[in-house]
Structure 1
């Protein structure tokens, strides 16, 4: 058999160097990651055997072994699970073909503290490499279940690794760490010490469903009398009585299945009994993962059947807008040979999804009053993705709204619930007003907000991309219509300082000629020119007609590849602004029509710019502005 030497992928080489040079403060996590990988390998073999996908595999005693040799300074983590073929070792170990690798390296370098860096290992699926934190050399021997040939992989983490086919190798995978000298500066613990191994396994891996056995030390006189010692309890936390499980144990389970170093924000436990029994243990993370909004995000919770692991990311158990939730569901009455296609049609799975969805939403809602700080954290991290459900899940729309918060002009520091908004509505106010935009500051400075600010009418400030969509999907709340301050006619009648009908009629007559002329002249750019009831400071603004798409929504659809015809906007003029008054007098006095035309075009372009848009002909706008400025100097 020939041994070949290969170079690591660039990202893998960078990652190894970061780990070798003491990036992590808590080096104990290397054993957590290796035991977790071994557990996954056993899960996969057990499932393959149940589905008859590995007919020749030995599943009589699936377990994990830990073997420490103080004299040789080695620690071996061994499992008799699914193992890997030569090609799989090449693909999975020699490179990091992971879309999150670059992001991982960036976050690793920018970690504010050592504790923050510690948990990034598992989060990006590179736990195997954590062995180089404590080892000068790592050797991996593996054989895929049912295959005759094994593979040996060896590296000192210095840029290269070797691969060697083996005629004989036990089923599964053995990772041997050639530990750094005990007296090295960055080696705080002796990882050949039995007490240290017990401590790490008890802390991080006590809930692993497979036995983690510590073998007697080689050369011990009492070897013959000593049996391998099982270090973990192997008790599924979701199956144990609530009063027998500590919060710390829940947190460690979350870190194992969520690949996160932080404690979860909230733990949710659910047990259903009767005709269809299942147990669920769910976790709401404290931070959103970096790839939450990417197409390849791995969502779903782990599915077990009678404590037998079935799949890692069962998407059918929770809707996409709850994809951030991690956890375990253990059903009693599903087939062990269940597939994703079967799950999509299974009525029991649909029933579980409905129950879990309602439980998560009610938990989030309750956090608002029971733990305001944790609720604020949740909304900051996951509010945007939760609001997707307002568009996709009509059955739970009310529950999602009850769990949601929105920034508003009422309080700059604390978002509001819709119910609280309606309780503060002014007498005679019939609608819930909102405006969408890129940021709170941009919305607050928009001309569309002027009348609402002047009259003290509260406006919701919606800055997430999904806000452009859900407001139309929802339409109303408790009989109060949701109305954009930037669309359609605005009627603030009955509010303080409102104009009388006579005054409105007088101004309409006064400006009728100018409005008609501007509507005709700007006909290719605007749908209509009319007087505004929403402006108090700015001379003009552009608004969308009721029922039409906003420019932001048009751009969103185009970005998704959908052709959307551009709709003409409405130009509104402020009859109280001096510029508009002067323009009307000039039109009435039959002033120079060229001057009037240029002023009208500039007024429209300025209104478009004020809302963050772009004039239809930027070059002409610049020329007109330059000419006007030249005449004023």
Structure 2
């Protein structure tokens, strides 16, 4: 049995296509100017590909009375058959090779580009005369899907497109808007583009201009960066990736910025692709804004972003390497400029140092870290020390810096982003570097103990303090340390911290998990936080000679609470209760009722 099939053709709803373009493909109707310029530039390129002696390319944009717009080029033009092929069919590309429109050095897609104009126009007229000969052809298209083709007027080879605005879109065709859009999209094109008799293209890209003095070139590029970014950048970096046909510059911002903010200005074959392109450089290089032109990277369907592929990934790595090399060159040849850069963008450099040994060497030698002996690079800090000890939080550093330094154990503040990772990686660039996190228990052991006679004197006071602090899960110590302005210091060893974490987990877990976690609770050795009382402080010596009683108990509780607050330690409910109780009791003793 023979099966009979009937072929049908898709029916294309032009209004639906325009809606698709405006709401899902293009970010804004403004791209119609880019599409027209791309078509004109491609036509000029195609003509010169078949006739090297053709006149120099030019594109003329003219606002017309009544709000219409006309754009003319002296490109290859279209025959009547080609008009039907390109202007009346969506997606047909079979004859692009015949015209030279499928070549790698062209920018756009002729048919789709013209359809984008329906986002701002209700009627489009195209008059074109082909370089192959024959009369001019006029194509008139309307937003409702109709079009007509007849013989047109045109003595010169090329194409003229006239747009008549649709209601509500007149502002997109205004002279000021068109001039701004054409200047933005086309100012690097090699063809001559004029808008209302004013040239908007530049003879060459700013980074291509030749200067006798490198500093003069640097100053000119920084001026260009100020125009592009809106503020003058700190530095400029030359960028080049030949395999992607990419050249341009990277501008180092003069003020801090967050990761992921802002993008890069990318030109594709000298036509602006996007002013806010992301993922062009590695994430750590967020302090750089690039302006580049590429001939090989692929655009997305909307030609408003770069297509993520292996080539873009390779370009990203190459640009990251060039930014990294620039930083290393500054460290050798321009240390004063490097110091200025690090003051602003230390975060990006540290982010790179945690994965790159060369940048780690730069950070080690140049980036100041906060230490208990002042701000200095890590290489300077460890010159006279066999061990680098650090603390992981800013609060811990502020509480311990002066005491640790006086005890002969200077420390580094690793409480900022990437600091801990950088310190732990130092052995990769200096095998002699030894790094360890400061254990509070280790610091307590370095504080000067009391003499036997002093210990005998403070024994009663220490016994009372032990009884008071037992209820707060803490043990007292009396030591002598500087600065003398610190009466008490709350220290938690790593063992005590671990044991406390396990016990908190046991208390909050259900019965099953509580039993499992109990196996990790080492009850053979009790590790508790320590309240270290400073014998050199006059208040501690005074309290040690005070007779036992409620007042002394409240004083110990007050010292405990003050040490917690000074060290920015979290307060439990029992801690807050002790602090409030001691505060109110001491106030009551200071203002007895009988004196009222």
Normalising by structure 1, report the TM-score.
0.51
User: What is the aligned counterpart of 2:554 among 581, 598, 615?
Assistant: 598
User: What is the aligned counterpart of 2:402 among 444, 447, 450?
Assistant: 450
Partner of 2:377: 417
CA distances 1:563-621 after superposition (whole Å, capped 9, x unpaired): xx9x98543322322333445556xx7x23x4444333211110122234564343552
Matches for 1:329-478 after TM superposition, within 5 Å: 341-343=308-310, 346=313, 348-349=314-315, 351-363=317-329, 365=331, 369-371=335-337, 375-376=339-340, 378-391=341-354, 396-407=359-370, 416-423=376-383, 425=384, 430-431=387-388, 436-437=393-394, 446-451=398-403, 465-466=416-417, 470=421, 473-474=424-425, 478=430
Aligned to 1:387, the other structure's residue is in SS state helix
**1:287 maps onto 2:259 in alignment:** no
Q: Distance in 2 between matches of 1:79 and 1:514?
A: 98
CA distances 1:521-555 after superposition (whole Å, capped 9, x unpaired): 545755654455565321112234359999xxxxx
Aligned to 1:170, the other structure's residue is in SS state strand
Q: Distance in 2 between matches of 1:381 and 1:522?
A: 47
- Higher RCO, 1 or 2 (CA under 8 Å, sep at least 6)? 1
Aligned to 1:359, the other structure's residue is in SS state helix
Q: What is the CA distance between 1:631 and its match in structure 2?
A: 1.3
User: Per the alignment, do residues 453 and 598 of structure 1 end up closer, same or farther by CA in structure 2, a change over 3 Å counting?
Assistant: same
Partner of 2:43: 60
User: Per the alignment, do residues 489 and 315 of structure 1 end up closer, same or farther by CA in structure 2, a change over 3 Å counting?
Assistant: farther
Aligned to 2:251, the other structure's residue is in SS state strand
CA contact (8 A) 1:206 1:234 kept: no
User: Per the alignment, do residues 512 and 327 of structure 1 end up closer, same or farther by CA in structure 2, a change over 3 Å counting?
Assistant: farther
CA contact (8 A) 1:450 1:537 kept: no
Q: Distance in 1 between matches of 2:72 and 2:437?
A: 60
User: Per the alignment, do residues 340 and 213 of structure 1 end up closer, same or farther by CA in structure 2, a change over 3 Å counting?
Assistant: closer
Partner of 1:490: 443
After the TM superposition, which of the residue ranges 207-216 and 352-361 deviates more from structure 2?
207-216
Partner of 1:269: 238
User: Per the alignment, do residues 546 and 384 of structure 1 end up closer, same or farther by CA in structure 2, a change over 3 Å counting?
Assistant: farther
CA contact (8 A) 1:238 1:280 kept: yes
Partner of 1:571: 531
Q: What is the CA distance between 1:41 and its match in structure 2?
A: 6.2
CA contact (8 A) 2:35 2:116 kept: no
User: Per the alignment, do residues 519 and 355 of structure 1 end up closer, same or farther by CA in structure 2, a change over 3 Å counting?
Assistant: farther
Q: Distance in 2 between matches of 1:504 and 1:430?
A: 29
User: Per the alignment, do residues 77 and 536 of structure 1 end up closer, same or farther by CA in structure 2, a change over 3 Å counting?
Assistant: farther
Q: What is the CA distance between 1:280 and its match in structure 2?
A: 5.0
CA contact (8 A) 2:489 2:531 kept: yes
User: What is the aligned counterpart of 1:327 among 285, 290, 294?
Assistant: 290
Partner of 2:131: none
User: Per the alignment, do residues 536 and 596 of structure 1 end up closer, same or farther by CA in structure 2, a change over 3 Å counting?
Assistant: same
User: Per the alignment, do residues 271 and 595 of structure 1 end up closer, same or farther by CA in structure 2, a change over 3 Å counting?
Assistant: same
CA contact (8 A) 1:406 1:416 kept: yes
User: Per the alignment, do residues 548 and 627 of structure 1 end up closer, same or farther by CA in structure 2, a change over 3 Å counting?
Assistant: closer
Aligned to 1:146, the other structure's residue is in SS state helix
Partner of 2:52: none
Q: What is the CA distance between 1:358 and its match in structure 2?
A: 1.9
- Gap runs ≥5 in structure 2: 1-28, 46-57, 74-111, 123-141, 146-161, 499-516, 518-526, 592-596
Partner of 1:539: 487
Partner of 2:163: 170
User: What is the aligned counterpart of 1:610 among 553, 566, 571?
Assistant: 566
Q: Distance in 2 between matches of 1:315 and 1:171?
A: 35
Partner of 1:14: none
Partner of 1:627: 585
CA contact (8 A) 2:186 2:271 kept: no
**Larger Rg computed on CA atoms:** 2
User: Per the alignment, do residues 392 and 43 of structure 1 end up closer, same or farther by CA in structure 2, a change over 3 Å counting?
Assistant: farther
Matches for 1:292-311 after TM superposition, within 5 Å: 292=258, 297-299=261-263, 301-302=264-265
CA distances 1:424-481 after superposition (whole Å, capped 9, x unpaired): x5xx67436678537xxx97xx55233356589876567x752675466547784445
Q: What is the CA distance between 1:624 and its match in structure 2?
A: 1.9
Q: Distance in 2 between matches of 1:255 and 1:548?
A: 55
User: What is the aligned counterpart of 2:205 among 233, 236, 242?
Assistant: 236
- Gap runs ≥5 in structure 1: 1-36, 50-56, 81-142, 154-164, 180-190, 218-228, 551-564
Normalising by structure 2, report the TM-score.
0.54
Aligned to 1:149, the other structure's residue is in SS state helix
Q: What is the CA distance between 1:626 and its match in structure 2?
A: 2.3
Partner of 2:194: 214
CA distances 1:254-286 after superposition (whole Å, capped 9, x unpaired): 346xx522221001114467x887545211011
